[in-house]
Amino acid sequence: MASALALRNFKRRDIILLEREMSSAAHILVSGIARITCLNARRERVTVALIAPGPIPQFPTLPISHFDFQCEAYNDCRVGSLNWNTFDGIAENAGESPSKVFQQNNLRQWYRLLLRSSSFLSLGLHDRIGVALLELCSDFGIEESRGTLLRVSFSHKDIANLVGASRPRVTEHLAQLERERFLTRQGRQLVVQVDKLAQSVNAHTA
């Protein structure tokens, strides 16, 4: 598959894909971090997902959709694309495993959006921030003796966008999570106690 990819480079804040382009071909983030943004109810563009290298999820255009999803470069990115006919031929020869990877990635991203929404499971902001941190640790964390180190220093505004809250409120809750010993700081990076935080969130969704 690597040899069939048409590769492009993007600088920070470049638009990689518009909503209508996301499902037009198979797109793979080869390096860097991308983010999926959309318009909220106030027509402000917010981040709804931060994407690690791998398949870029598809957000299909719907007749009633006003979200205007975009895939943007969070930092310098390299993206490979190939048309679906070529992808289907590769998937068929590989026993369909590439197709399953794309399908599972799409489902995971949609599930994460549901889990972080304010209505799903009636999670409060504190737990939604916990869910967002667990999500970031899954994609960008490194296990070490103190916990899981987030290799990327995501801003409080990034996390606020993910959970649909203001930056000051997220800052307050991050400080509370620190007091509760669910996370510690290493400069601008965070070290998260993933198991303890997951247990706390699960206790509130049981």
Summarize the confidence of residues 94-108 as an average pLDDT: 73
User: First and final CA of the chain: distance in angstroms?
Assistant: 42
Fold of 2-116: Jelly Rolls (2.60.120)
Every domain of the chain with CATH number 2.60.120.10 lies at 2-116
Residue 168: its pLDDT value, please? Answer: 97
Summarize the confidence of residues 124-147 as an average pLDDT: 93
CATH numeric code, 123-205: 1.10.10.10
Residue 114: pLDDT above 90? no
Local confidence band at 60 (pLDDT 50, 70, 90 cut-offs)? low
For the stretch 98-101, contacts whose Cβ atoms lie closer than 8 Å and that sit 24 or more positions apart, written own/partner, are 98/1, 101/54, 101/55
Q: Are 12 and 76 in contact (CB under 8 A)?
A: yes
Cα 45 to Cα 38: distance, rounded to the nearest angstrom: 5
Residue 77: pLDDT above 90? yes
Every domain of the chain with CATH number 1.10.10.10 lies at 123-205
Count of beta carbons in the 10 Å neighbourhood of residue 92? 11
Residue-wise pLDDT tens digits, 156-192? 999 998 988 899 999 999 999 999 999 999 888 999 9
Cα 104 to Cα 98: distance, rounded to the nearest angstrom: 10
The pTM score is 0.83
Q: Are 161 and 48 in contact (CB under 8 A)?
A: yes
Q: What is the mean pLDDT of the chain?
A: 86
Residue 117: its pLDDT value, please? Answer: 67
